[in-house]
Structure 1
């Protein structure tokens, strides 16, 4: 009786029961699919986060290594500046009261202004170059670790690529110092040792020297280059030996690839903008140090004037405060090492090469 009633109920509502069955079955299947998709999505997110964390850890290690290289090579920059812009030797000669005292003081004038320029430019150029170089190399090494095939570069190629930074602190800076000295002679020749400068006049002169040096580099490197004073591309010629980088048809492909990528990045608009920004920041730091020294020498920034003869040791002290016995303690160097825009550029390079 119960069974016949149940059969009768099923016959009367068979379409409703079929619909309910289909909906329930579809819901169950949909639930299983959604659950599977969510689990897959969660696994993918976890993997991506772990990969991002691993990438960040590799990048931080790379930046730490780069910082050590920067500090080490800044010591070589200091040695080059002290050797080619040697004020101590002239100062020692002046103590013996020579007959050419005025000539020696004028030479000291050229050296002190050149030291100021070289420190501002050379430190910034070195830091930007090493950040780019180490980010490229770090990205390649990170890719090597992930690759199941042969490494992208060999150990010998790695060492050869790292060695190109030596040009920056040897031939590159030597050429740069020569240009800086010529610019200083041209712009300061009209100022005698007794000529007095106010703080504003001294700041204006230093700013003119900074811009005029870049203009001179544009002319020297390529007479057909743009006259835009914001163009930083001439500086690349003092950071890397472009002749060897671009004219080595017999070079091994791995090494040539690294050199091509380095040049492409250094010549990119983004890198040029950051190089300009770091240089301006460095000169801003140098200007602050100079202002403090000027205030100590004159007791006033607005009314007092200081003769050029007293500006000479002031500028030398500014240079030595940055490239002193302990470079790492220099506030300007610390600012360069922690430069946010340069760090972001480095990470973008590292990530792009690693992937």
Structure 2
């Protein structure tokens, strides 16, 4: 038998094996190319999504920085407006000039200092929440379509915060002052108060305001959007969207949380005064003085609280603290994402 015959016989006997092997080889090559193509498409998709995520992140972080810078600028104007209503400096001067009326003036100073503190907290939180909402909405619009909102429209929309400073602060001042007067009228200047007593006073105010028919949080929308006329269809849409958010349970809950945290921050600042005094007392005594057991006359606490406000150390710290609040940041991010 010739060699050619042997080879032909070999291929004839194993024909099916060669057909299957060939099919497998062709299939393997096809699957490899298909897998490579799919991998390439997946990599391109992942790269595109990665670039898009980073673009969104950078844009949102820019909005957050703008928001924090804006509230930092507006907080100074806010503090000036509130200080005009509660001119504690004039009361202090009158105490020096009119010693015969010092008790009456000290009681007036008591109401003014406590009311001023609470007004700063509520107003700053409301201003911060409003700006976060507004800038997140603007950011979402502009990311989706850079030409969707003119500079003039943005300024018109953001002027809500200026209207809040011009009109609504006065309402909050009167409300807080009236409720605070009820809480403090029975507390004598000589009464010794612990830190927990001060915290209880502010907590009682929060409880009172929460159930009031003019509650700043429950009526958030009315304090921000009140008698505002729309100048265009887009402007009207922005106002309606903002109003819906301000009336939502989520925003009210976050605003309440921020107010609570702000009063806790105030307590931490006052605790430093109690701690300092406890340290001095323990240095001349035999034992350790627990600052939480320390009690000071109200007349000594009023200048301390007024000093925190007059030097703007607390208002500045409050703005910084709110700028880093996780719940506010999450709210801002969720609103931004909903407009993309």
Q: TM-score range by the shorter chain?
A: 0.7 to 0.9
Q: For 1:303 and 1:9, how far apart are their aligned partners in 2?
A: 103
Contact 2:132/2:332 (8 A) holds in 1: yes
- Give 2:326's aligned residue: 340
Q: CA deviation at 1:276?
A: 1.9
Cα shift readout 1:24-81 (whole Å, capped 9, x = no counterpart): 2122111111110110001100110111111111111111111110100100111011
Q: Deviations over 1:316-344 (max 9, x none)?
A: 123335x35x96xx333222111122212
Deviation at 1:128, TM superposition (A): 1.7
Matches within 5 A, 1:63-82: 63-82=64-83
TM-score normalised by length of structure 1 = 0.84
Indicate the residue corresponding to 1:182 in structure 2: 178
Which residue of structure 2 lines up, in the alignment, with residue 234 of structure 1? 219
Q: Counterpart of 2:253?
A: 273
Find the aligned partners of 1:33 and 1:303 in 2 and give their Cα distance.
Answer: 76
Conservation of the 8 A alpha-carbon contact between 1:73 and 1:169: no
CA contact (8 A) 2:189 2:298 kept: yes
What is the correspondence of 1:174-213 to structure 2 with a 5 Å cutoff?
174-213=170-209
Matched, 1:89 2:83: no
C-alpha contact 1:113 1:184 (8 A) present in aligned 2: yes
Residue by residue over 1:121-169, the C-alpha shift from the partner in whole angstroms, topping out at 9 and shown as x without a partner, is 2222222221121111112111124xxxxx3223322121121121232
Q: Which moved more, 1:153-162 or 1:75-84?
A: 153-162
Contact 1:85–1:111 (CA under 8 A) maintained in structure 2: yes
Who is 1:224 aligned against?
none
In structure 2, the gaps of 5 or more residues are 282-288
> Is the 2:270–2:305 Cα contact (8 Å) retained in structure 1?
yes
Structure 1 counterpart of 2:265, from 285, 288, 292: 285
Q: Counterpart of 2:296?
A: 306
* Cα distance change of structure 1 residues 24 and 181 upon mapping to structure 2, 3 Å threshold: same
Q: Deviations over 1:104-132 (max 9, x none)?
A: 22221110110121122222222222112
1:105 paired residue number: 106
Q: Indicate the larger mover: 40-49 or 52-61.
A: 52-61
Establish whether residue 143 from structure 1 lines up as the match of residue 128 from structure 2: no
Q: Please give the alpha-carbon distance, in whole angstroms, between the structure 2 residues aligned to 1:294 and 1:306.
A: 8
1:98 to partner: Cα distance:
6.1
Cα offset for 1:308? 2.9
Gaps of 5+ in 1: 146-150, 222-230
Asked whether the 8 Å contact 2:202–2:263 carries over to 1, the reply is no
Conserved? CA contact 1:114–1:177, under 8 Å: yes
What are the equivalent positions in structure 2 for 1:153-164 lying under 5 Å apart?
153-164=149-160
Match of 2:309 in 1: 319
SS of structure 2 residue aligned to 1:119:
helix
Asked if structure 1 preserves the Cα contact closer than 8 Å seen for 2:111 and 2:180, the reply is: yes
1:350 partnered with 2:340: no
TM-aligned CA distance change 1:183 to 1:297, over 3 Å:
farther
Q: CA RMSD in A?
A: 2.5
> Once structures 1 and 2 are overlaid, which stretch shifts more, 166-175 or 95-104?
95-104
Change (3 A) 1:317 1:189: same
Report how many residues are paired. 329
